[in-house]
């Protein structure tokens, strides 16, 4: 199936259908779990999404397919893929491979956490950053990694254009230890000016739980968490 056929298929399924399919895949892979988990913001969350557990070739291949399908459905155009260290490196590489398989061959680059003082040197590895750059990562928790990526991309003379993530938690960010009315994704979109493409979001995750008897025990906890920490999606 080529890129055009994939795009037509996903248009028929709809973005919500793609998101539902992804949520079930994440559950089956053990990446999306339910219970009590402490977030970086110090909140007790009833669910935990750990993209590091897409830890074998088959899972990573299918994950890349979801990213590619979501990107194609979004209509976002870009010239280079950038994977920020560390989780973004395998994610960006896998997405580049999948897009190439679909006939959309894009250059790929990533960064090191520490500059290399021998060989080619520097912190950037791979294709030169130029034109519109797509950042690929798992989630946007505080926007810190995105801001760091933006600085690197601009420093190379390119334009940070969009971010692709697996899950948008749609919850309030924190500043100085205090909740703020906007999410990290909204901050990246509205303040930093980048387009954001998420395979799935919290609202879609919750609808998936509500649609299956097996997951009904988690619905109340996730709903309560969303009511307490969720952002106004109309803004």
Closest C-alpha to 90, from 116, 67, 119, 123: 67
Instruction: Report the pLDDT averaged over residues 15-36.
Output: 95
- Rounded CA separation 29/48 (Å): 13
Task: Indicate if 208 belongs to the active site.
Answer: no
Alpha helices (H) along 105-196:
144-155, 184-190
Please, are residues 222 and 47 in contact by the beta-carbon 8 Å criterion?
yes
DSSP annotation of 3 reads H
Separation of alpha carbons 97 and 73, rounded Å: 18
Note the pLDDT of residue 231.
Answer: 94
Q: Residues 118, 130, 161, 208: which is the catalytic one?
A: 118
User: What is the per-residue pLDDT across 110-145, written as a single tens digit (0 to 9) for each?
Assistant: 998 776 555 555 789 999 999 999 999 999 987 788
**For residue 28, is pLDDT > 50?**
yes
Indicate whether 60 pLDDT > 70. yes
Closest residue by Cα to residue 147 from 179, 193, 216, 101: 193
pLDDT digits (tens, 9 = 90+) for 69-91: 999 999 999 999 999 998 999 99
Active-site residue identified among 116, 130, 172, 208? 116
pLDDT of residue 145: 84
Half-sphere exposure of 233 (CA within 13 A, CB side): 10
Section 53-71 average pLDDT: 97
Backbone phi and psi for residue 147, each to the nearest 5 degrees, phi listed first: -60, -40
Average pLDDT over residues 17-27: 96
pLDDT tens string 156-194: 999 999 999 999 999 999 888 899 999 999 999 999 999
Q: Within 13 Å, how many C-alpha atoms sit on residue 6's CB side?
A: 21
């Amino acid at each position: 199936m080529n890129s055009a056929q994939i795009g037509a298929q996903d248009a028929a399924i709809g973005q919500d259908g793609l998101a539902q399919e992804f949520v079930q895949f994440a559950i089956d892979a053990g990446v999306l779990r339910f219970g009590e988990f402490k977030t970086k913001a110090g909140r007790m969350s009833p669910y935990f999404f750990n993209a590091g557990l897409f830890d074998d070739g088959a899972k990573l291949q299918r994950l890349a397919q979801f990213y590619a399908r979501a990107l194609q459905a979004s209509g976002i155009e870009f010239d280079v893929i950038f994977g920020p260290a560390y989780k973004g490196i395998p994610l960006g590489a896998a997405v580049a491979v999948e897009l190439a398989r679909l006939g959309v061959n894009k250059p790929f680059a990533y960064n090191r956490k520490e500059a290399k003082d021998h060989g080619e040197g520097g912190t950037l590895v791979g294709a030169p950053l130029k034109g519109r750059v797509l950042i690929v990562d798992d989630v946007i928790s505080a926007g810190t990694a995105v801001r760091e990526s933006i600085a690197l991309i601009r420093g190379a003379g390119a334009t940070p254009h969009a971010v692709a993530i697996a899950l948008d938690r749609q919850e309030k960010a924190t500043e100085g230890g205090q909740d703020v009315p906007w999410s990290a994704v909204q901050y990246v979109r509205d303040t930093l000016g980048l387009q954001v493409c998420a395979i799935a979001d919290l609202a879609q995750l919750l609808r998936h739980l509500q649609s299956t008897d097996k997951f009904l025990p988690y619905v109340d906890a996730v709903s309560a968490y969303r009511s307490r920490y969720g952002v106004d999606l109309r803004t």
